Chain A
Amino acid sequence: MSGSDRGAVRVFAEYERDFTEQADVVVVGSGPCGSVVAYELAARGKRVVLLEEGPPFTPQDFELDGAFSMSRTMREAGLRTTRGTVIPTMQAIALGGGSLVNSAICVRPPDFVFEGWEENFEIEGTRRADLDPHFDAVEAFLGIAPTPDEVQGQRNLLFRDGCDALGIDSEPIARNARGCRGSGECFTGCRSRAKQSMDISYLPAAIHAGARVLTSLQVQEVLTEGRRASGVRGQVVEPFSGRRSHRFQIDAKAVVLAAGCMATPILLSKSGNLANRSGQVGRNLQFHPGIAILGVFPEKVDPGFGATQGYQSLAFLREGFKLETLWAPAAVLAVRFPGYGHDLKTRLAEVPYAANWDAIASCHRSLGTVRPKRGASLDPILTWRFHSEDAQVLGGALYQIARIFFAAGARKILPGVYGVPGEIHSIEEADVLRTHRYAPTDFVTASNHAFCTTRMHGDPAKGVVDPRGRAHEMDGLFLVDTGIFPRCTSVNPMFTGMALAHRSAAALADQL
C-alpha cells in the first residue's frame, strides 16, 4: 500500500477544522452491512464515503480483560440494557462494527424463515434461492468455511459427541475466519488476525477500490431536499471519551444507513421523523434471547482453548431455538456460576473441567421499541417485554442442552435459572427443565442479535423499506442493517444482513 493510499482513511488525530465533502453515496456505519455496500459500490466505480463513529482498532489496542474490552469497543461501555424485561444488549463502536468483537458465525437461514417473511409481510423475491447468489458472493469474498477440527478444542467437540450420541444433527460452525488458532478471543478482538472482521477484509478492499473511510465521525442528521436524501451532517467525536468537536457535512446523491438496528431508527427520528409515514420506525424490536448452561465433565476440558463458537445444531429451528457452543472472557462466563462464598469458589475451581453451551431463541411474541434520548447521542431508550410463551421455548432449549451434556458424559450441569436446582446431576434430574413453568424473569439472558426496528414490508403503510432496502417514501435513502428484517432469522443474523446488503448495493448502483 503506498503512502498516498493512506489518505483514503482518516482518523481522529487528523481532523483540524470543520469540513464538507461530496460523494455519490455516503454510507453510515462500518459494520458488516455497511462495509459490504461500501465495497460493492466502490468496486463499481462510485464515489463512496463511509462514516464510522468509532476508531479503528489494532492488535495493540485490544484489551484481554473482558470488562475493559467492552468499555472500549461497545457503546455505553457494553452495559446497555432494556427496560421492561431487563436484558443486556451490546452495540459495538469501532471500525468494523460488531464484526470486530463477534464470533464470526455465518449461517444461512433455512427456507421456512424466508417463506414466513413472504407470507406475513407481503415481500416478494426474497426466498432463500433468491438470496443464495448474494450469500455465495459474500462467502467467497470472506473465505467463509466450517471451523476446522484442529482448532475446535474439547469444549466444542464434546458438543458434537453428545449430539451424535443422541442422533441430533450438528455441524462445525461456518465462520469468516482464515487461519484460526483456537485462542477463543473473538469477543475481545482476534490477536491472531484470523477473523475476517470488516476492518481487515471488506474495508481495505473498499479503500483499494477508492472508498474514503472516515472514522470518529458521529452522524447526527440525515439531510433532505424535498423527498430526496441529500447527505448527512454531524460532528467529530474523540475515541472513548465521546467529546465532540469539529462539524462536518457530506453531500451525496444517495444515503445508506447501516448504523445498526438501534441507531438507524434514532437517526431517522432525529432527522425530523424521516421515512416514518408507516409509524413503524423504532417499533417491532426483536431479539434472539440467549441462555447458557455450564456442564462439568470428569476429565479436563481446558475450555480456554478452542474456537470461540465452533459447533452448532440447527435441528430445533422449527421449535424456535438454535444450540451452540460458546466461549467468552472468563469473567463474563463466570457470572453464570450460581452462589457466592466458599460454594462459589469450589465451583470456580471446576472451570478447567467445564464447557459452556448456549441456546438462542426466536421470540416473535416478545417485542419492544427503540426511542431516542435527548441530546446528540445515538444511544437509545430500549423497552422490551419477554413473552411468557417465548420463555417456555427457551426452557425447552435448556432441556435439550442438558440432554446433550449428559449424553457427552457430563457429571453435572449448572443451569443458572431461578426456580430450578443450581446443580443437576443426571438426565433424570434434568427433567425439571422440561416440566418447569418458566417466568420470563427466571432467566439470566442476553442478546446481541437485534432486528426489525425499520422493517421491510411490501405495503408502505406497514413497513419502512422495500426488500431492496429502499425507503418507501424517500428517494435516495437506503437502509441496510438488521433493522430491516421483518422478523428474526432464527440463526445468527450477520450473514443474512450482508447478503441483503449485497443485493441492495446492486440495486443502488443501478439507480445512480
Chain B
Amino acid sequence: MPSAWDLWAVLIAALLLGWGWWRVFGGFPRARGPAGVLAARELAFLAAAADATYPEGGSALPSGTQAGIPAYVDRYVASVPSTIGFLMRLLFFLIEHATLLFAAPGGGGRRRFSSLNAEQRSAVLEGWGESSWYPRRLVFSSLRAILTMGFFSDPAVLRTLHLAAKRIESPVVEADLLYPAVGAHPSTIAHGPEDLGSPSGVPLAADAPLHPDHADPTG
C-alpha cells in the first residue's frame, strides 16, 4: 500500500514531467506550412530565427518572415534525403531548446528560443556565432546558411539587390534532340533538326527582361 508521501511524490513527478513536456513541445501555434513536412513548433522556431537574423526595417529588404523563410525551409527539408532532413530538424530542435538549459540573458531567459524577446534572441544568436568553441559556431553557421538560402529565394530580395535572373531563351542544341526532360519518355522530345541553333555569345543586357519566376508580378 503506497503511503501518502509516495502519492505526493508521484503527483509532483507527473506535474514536473507535464511542465517539462509543455516547455519543450507545448504552446506552439497549430498552423502548418504548405508542404506540411515540418511541425508547427518547428515553423514557429524558424519564424523566430528568421526574424532575428533578418529583422524588419533598417533597409529596403524584407524581414525573414516577409521573405517567406519558414515556408521555404519547409519545402527544402521535404526535398532533401530523409537522413539530412532529420539532421536539419535536430539542428532546429537544438537551438530552440538550448536556452532551457543555458538561459538567455535578461529576465525569463530560461525559455524556448521562439518564446524569447527580440533582444534575447539576438543575444542567443551572438552567443552561438561568436563562440570560441568551433562546434557552436558550426551550428550557428549551419542554421544561418539555411535561413539565408530561404531569404534569397524571395524574388523581391533578388530584385532589390539587382540579382534577379534574366529571361534567357535556350537555343536548341543537339543534346536537346537526344534527352527528354527528367522523368519523361523520349517520345516527348519535341525538337527536330530544323530547330537547331547555337549560343549567341551576346552579353546579357543590364535591362533585359527578368525570368518569369523573378519578375515583379505587379509589373
Within 8 A of A (CB), among B199-218: 199-204, 206, 211, 213-214
Say whether B177 contacts A181, CB under 8 Å: no
Minimum CB–CB distance from A353 to chain B (whole Å) comes to 10
B198 interfacial contact with A, CB 8 Å: yes
Say whether A71 contacts B76, CB under 8 Å: yes
Say whether A194 contacts B199, CB under 8 Å: yes
Contact with A along B60-87 (1 / 0, CB 8 A): 1100000000000000100111001000
Q: Select which of B55, B59, B144, B168 is within 8 A of A349 by beta carbon.
A: B59
Pairs across A and B, CB under 8 Å, 22 listed: A13-B184, A14-B186, A56-B179, A58-B175, A61-B181, A61-B182, A79-B80, A95-B179, A148-B201, A183-B204, A192-B199, A200-B174, A239-B183, A242-B81, A330-B158, A331-B149, A334-B151, A335-B144, A335-B145, A335-B148, A341-B55, A344-B54
Q: Which residues of A contact B206 (CB under 8 A)?
A: 302, 305
Contact with A along B124-161 (1 / 0, CB 8 A): 01100100001001100100110011011100001011
Say whether B186 contacts A58, CB under 8 Å: no
Within 8 A of B (CB), among A296-350: 302-305, 329-332, 334-335, 337, 339-342, 344-346, 348-349
Q: Which residues of B contact A302 (CB under 8 A)?
A: 162, 206
Q: Which residues of B contact A57 (CB under 8 A)?
A: 179, 182
Say whether B179 contacts A11, CB under 8 Å: yes
Q: Select which of A11, A64, A86 is within 8 A of B186 by beta carbon.
A: A11
Say whether B182 contacts A331, CB under 8 Å: no
CA distance A242 to B158 in the complex (A): 32
A432 interfacial contact with B, CB 8 Å: no
Say whether A331 contacts B58, CB under 8 Å: no
Say whether A77 contacts B181, CB under 8 Å: no
For A442, give the chain B residue with the smallest CB separation: B134
Measured CB to CB, the residues of A under 8 A from B are 1, 5-6, 8-9, 11-14, 55-61, 64-68, 71-72, 76-77, 79, 86, 95, 148, 150-151, 178-183, 185, 191-194, 199-200, 203-204, 207, 239-240, 242, 302-305, 329-332, 334-335, 337, 339-342, 344-346, 348-349, 351-352, 418, 441, 444
Minimum CB–CB distance from A328 to chain B (whole Å) comes to 11
Given contacts A181-B200, A181-B204, contact A64 B165 (CB under 8 A): yes
Say whether B203 contacts A335, CB under 8 Å: no
Given contacts A151-B203, A330-B152, A418-B137, contact A13 B185 (CB under 8 A): yes
Say whether A304 contacts B122, CB under 8 Å: no
CA distance A345 to B170 in the complex (A): 34
CA distance A65 to B57 in the complex (A): 25
Q: Which residues of A contact B193 (CB under 8 A)?
A: 1
Output the residue of B153, B161, B181 with the most chain A CB within 10 A.
B161
